[in-house]
Amino acid sequence: MNVSAKQLVTLFKETINFPQPNTLEGSAESISNYYKMTRQFAKMAYIYQDLIPEGYDVLSILELADFILNLKFEEFQKIANNLPFILDGVILQDKTTSYPEADVDPSWEPAIAMLSQNLPNEIELTDGSQDTLFFEAATDLLNKFPETSALQNLDRWITSRPEKYKNAMLLVSKQALSKMYVKQIDCPLHVSLVLAMYNEHNRIRPKSSDNPNGEDFVRRKMKQMEWLLKDSPHSFNMILVDDGCPKQSGTKAQEIIEKEGYKNVNVLYLDDGIKRQSAVIKGLKSTSESRKGGSIQYGMWQAVKKYSEGDKPHIVVFTDADMATPVNEIGFLLDKQDDETMLAIASRYDAGSICRGPWGKNGEVQGLTEFDRRMVGLRGLVFSKLFPQTGKITDTQCGLKAFNSKLLRQILLKTKVRTFSFDIELLVLAASTDTAIAIAPIYWHDSLAESSFWGNASEKTNDDDSSSGD
């Protein structure tokens, strides 16, 4: 949206008094989460105002930040509801891109139809047996279309008309293309996968009659990474960080590691880092002051220190504990890494992405609601005006971001935020270096069944940073 920070403040003021009836479809909780996240953007703008490059109107940016911080919740509701009418259109434009019928390969539809026969009608994140079906279908797709351009075109075709295909097929297409990109990386890489755990004592176990929301995420993420990197020169390790979990998520993870005999997975405890006064989490006095951020920073720093840059390029990826973002999609992020681009972030909202969740009236799986499209668009608009140096980033909160360890060595020790906003801070700090930030559209399927950081944030804090990362 081509408006300045100053103009956006004026528009916000107009929308508060705009005579349009309230027609928001989102719940009060959802609106509150977007409100809190927008306020976190504003707080971050103040913290890092010294990083705003020359040529930008710093005073106008801070005026926008100040306006947001002083917004009452009721005023935010009016802005969220009325701004699209003032701007004559939905802020977030349609992310689907058309694919000319004339360019369609006649072999696509028969191949899709055949593969779809063996795929489930719907993705169930608690059903680990589905993963094998996805791996097999993605491998078959790679064999049928061994040329990168052919697989890219097929993926563009089906993601441009997602309503015609099973969600499982949309996911399989992404996984196949991700593996294709990994196969094309000649220089051996080492990938460190880092995730934080808080109240993951149920989700870490398999689904059962007494654990209906189990996702068995340690074993399944390992299988996803092993499938992705099989027959490649690349290696990986996984670091699980206990964020001070009262339900002993770290202990349960360690039991799984020992049972499975994993040699490339280890558990860290944020509390140990605090006791040792680790420089990367300076200022933390207890785990209660961390809401995911401290654990991710600590885990990434340990990964950077363990693997030297001289051996082979090292990419550190942080993700979420749940299975919403299949980690075997990181090929999209690795493909975009080079000397000029040392940060690649996944997106659920940009063209080519697929975002799904059980958001229907009866829990039916569907894409973004119009309410969420509006909120995501508003959030992205605010972010772009508060942090113009980062470029256009629609999805700041997706739990899949890949950093070259060289970049992390430059920025990790500069971090100040240990809460949910940590990834916003990393984007801002990365933009202060010479690196470009690449966007990688992915398939994402929301995991709502089991409470996690977002649902349990109130156990640690009641401030604005308890907002959802969605």
Q: Are 153 and 111 in contact (CB under 8 A)?
A: no
pLDDT value, residue 80: 82
Instruction: Say how many C-beta atoms besides its own lie within 10 A of residue 449's C-beta.
Output: 18
What is residue 291's three-state secondary structure? coil
Q: Which residues of the chain have pLDDT under 50?
A: 89-94, 451-455, 457-458, 462, 466-470
Rounded Cα–Cα distance for residues 386 and 9 (Å): 11
Write down the domain spans for the chain: 101-175, 185-348+395-466
400-404 and 341-347: which strand pairing?
antiparallel
Contacts of 386 (CB under 8 A, 6+ apart): 5, 41, 42, 44, 45, 61, 64, 65
pLDDT value, residue 100: 64
Rounded Cα–Cα distance for residues 267 and 41 (Å): 31
Amino acid found at 97: T
Rounded Cα–Cα distance for residues 306 and 300 (Å): 10
Residue 139: which of 151, 127, 128 has the closest Cα?
A: 151
Rounded Cα–Cα distance for residues 321 and 303 (Å): 17
Q: Are 450 and 202 in contact (CB under 8 A)?
A: yes
Q: What is the DSSP string of 367-390?
A: S--HHHHHHHHHHHHHHHHH-GGG
Q: Are 106 and 16 in contact (CB under 8 A)?
A: no
Q: Which residues pair with 443 in a beta bridge?
A: 354
The 8-class DSSP code of residue 211 comes to B
Q: Which helix (H) or strand (E) element contains residue 193?
A: strand 190-197
CATH topology (fold) of 185-348+395-466? Spore Coat Polysaccharide Biosynthesis Protein SpsA; Chain A (3.90.550)
Rounded Cα–Cα distance for residues 286 and 273 (Å): 10
